[in-house]
Structure 1
Amino acid sequence: MGGLVVRPAGRRKEILESFIRHVAEYGYERTNLGDIAKELGMSKGTIVHHFGTKAQMLCELEENYMNHQLDAVRSMWERLAKPQERIAAIVFASAILQVVARDATVASQREVVQLADDPGMQEVRKLRRELQRMTEEELRRGIDEGLFRPVDVEVVSLQLWGSVQWMWVWFQPGGRHTPEAIGSTFVDVLLGGLLVDRFGLSALSDPNGEVATVVRETFAADAAK
């Protein structure tokens, strides 16, 4: 897993990566700490010593993923100033994460229902709201600057995140479509419906254009740390 991957030290790193992989493949409910212990040649007590409960492991997975996603978006936005560029960056990032951090992305997104009312997920919900707030702010700025049509920014933000966060269900790494191609199509449709003037849409949705390049470089720099 590259990109948005937390790198804890020692055996803790092995345990968390194995847990993430199991959740991505089987789902949280079917993930068994005993299976992980057997896979890693350790006792289940060692896992409990490092993490406590399985629920605490899921919470750590989600918090780590959301914190790194927020950091990545902020890094991209430092290089992309326009609202339409920043919205496009979110879309490309969501698609490219399906490859550069596949296990963590699938594990996080398939268990989104756990975030609804679980008291242990309060911090995760806070982080998700921050990402939502940042998105709404850029949509609102685009409207105020006459770049976007007047829309309900809350609904459009939910539409954006609701669509990209289900990519894991149908996207197949190494398949017919690259993540950049998927991102390009999503950007074309989403921004095509928002922009007052679509003259620059092809540049924004270009899988080899500036926005996609900034996203790829951001993840590459993070993976190299």
Structure 2
Amino acid sequence: MAKAGTRLAGKANEILEVFTHNVAQFGYDGTNLSDIANELSISKGTIVHHYGTKDRLLAALHTSYMRRRLTEAKLLIGKLDHPEQQLAGLLFAFILYQEHDRDATIAFQREVMRLAALDIDTEGLELRAEYIKLVRDVIEAGIAAGRLRKTDLRIQSLLMFGSAQWAYTWFDPSGDESAEEVGAALVDLVLGSLLVRRTALPALADPKGLAAQTARQCLLEASAESGSGLAAS
């Protein structure tokens, strides 16, 4: 029974992985279950057995993606001492996602508005709300500690997420700028306007510095612990 359960879980993960890749490449509307079935040499009924509908596959993508991002973010915050370091690390991670978990990140960012409208995607939406709150809590802690200046948490966090949201349309992992270099520009942009003492900015925005290295380390550690990039819900 255990082996059968493992095989079923493995097949579900394979389906989700191929679905994620296809959504990244062709968008949700350009992805169909028959193509996934053909690619995996399984019946369309097998996909329906595991996930039911294409909307439920998208919800599973959303949930698994946000679980990974939350795991990494919590790990990162635990490794960095001060709120401004934690925020810098999170900002680096925003861009590192484009390289580290590219298919899932593109699929998520391409279909973010559709995800928000899915009635069945309650867990994914809850996880996303938790992630947004985590980022806002870091900013709030920095303000309380006198390290970051007072700001509108909602607007500031939405501006940050919005800056990273469209990176999939122009960032090339094999291009001239590394993910850390692009992340450094985002850190400079955000923390340059938030820091009470800007003298700390060069170290925080260093693509080879503590925040950047910690962000990449946390992504790799979380991936190693999970054993795979994707996990079906």
**TM tier relative to shorter chain:** over 0.9
**1:116 Cα deviation (Å)?**
2.8
Q: 2:116 corresponds to which residue?
A: 116
Alignment of 1:44-193 (within 5 A): 44-193=44-193
Quote the Cα distance in structure 2 between the aligned partners of 1:164 and 1:25: 19
Report the Cα offset of residue 81 of structure 1: 2.1
SS class of match (1:200): helix
Q: Structure 1: give runs of 5+ residues left out of the alignment.
A: 1-7
In the alignment, which residue of structure 2 is the partner of 1:224? 224
Secondary structure of 1:213 counterpart: helix
- Look up the SS of the partner of 2:197 in the other structure: coil
Shift of 1:47: 1.1
Query: How many residues end up aligned between the 2 structures?
Result: 218
Q: Deviations over 1:112-155 (max 9, x none)?
A: 00133321122222111111111111212212222112211111
Residue type of the partner of 1:138?
A: V
Quote the sequence identity (%).
41
Contact 2:187 2:205 in 1 (8 A): yes
The answer as to whether partners of 2:59 and 2:115 remain within 8 angstroms in 1 is no
Runs of 4+ displaced beyond 3 Å: none
Query: Residue 175 of structure 1 aligns to a residue in which SS?
Result: coil
Q: How many Å apart are 1:214 and its aligned residue? A: 0.9
Q: Structure 2: give runs of 5+ residues left out of the alignment.
A: 1-7, 226-233
How high is the TM-score relative to the length of structure 1? 0.93
For the residue of structure 2 that corresponds to 1:29, the secondary structure is coil
Tell me how far 1:211 sits from its aligned partner: 0.8
State the alpha-carbon separation in 2 of the partners of residues 199 and 190 from structure 1: 14
RMSD over aligned CA atoms reads 1.3
Contact preservation (8 Å) 2:62, 2:115? no
CA deviation map 1:30-68 (0-9, x unaligned): 101101111111111111112111111100010010011
Preserved contact between residue 96 and residue 180 of structure 2 (Cα < 8 Å): yes
Match of 2:213 in 1: 213
Give the Cα–Cα distance (whole angstroms) in 1 for the partners of residues 142 and 113 of structure 2.
31
Q: CA deviation at 1:11?
A: 2.1
- 2:23 is equivalent to residue 23 of structure 1: yes
Is the 2:73–2:90 Cα contact (8 Å) retained in structure 1?
yes
Cα drift, residue 196 of structure 1: 1.3
Counterpart-to-counterpart distance in 2, 1:141 and 1:109: 28
Name the CA distance, whole Å, in 2 between partners of 1:69 and 1:187: 18
SS at match of 1:199: helix
- Aligned-residue offset at 1:172: 1.1
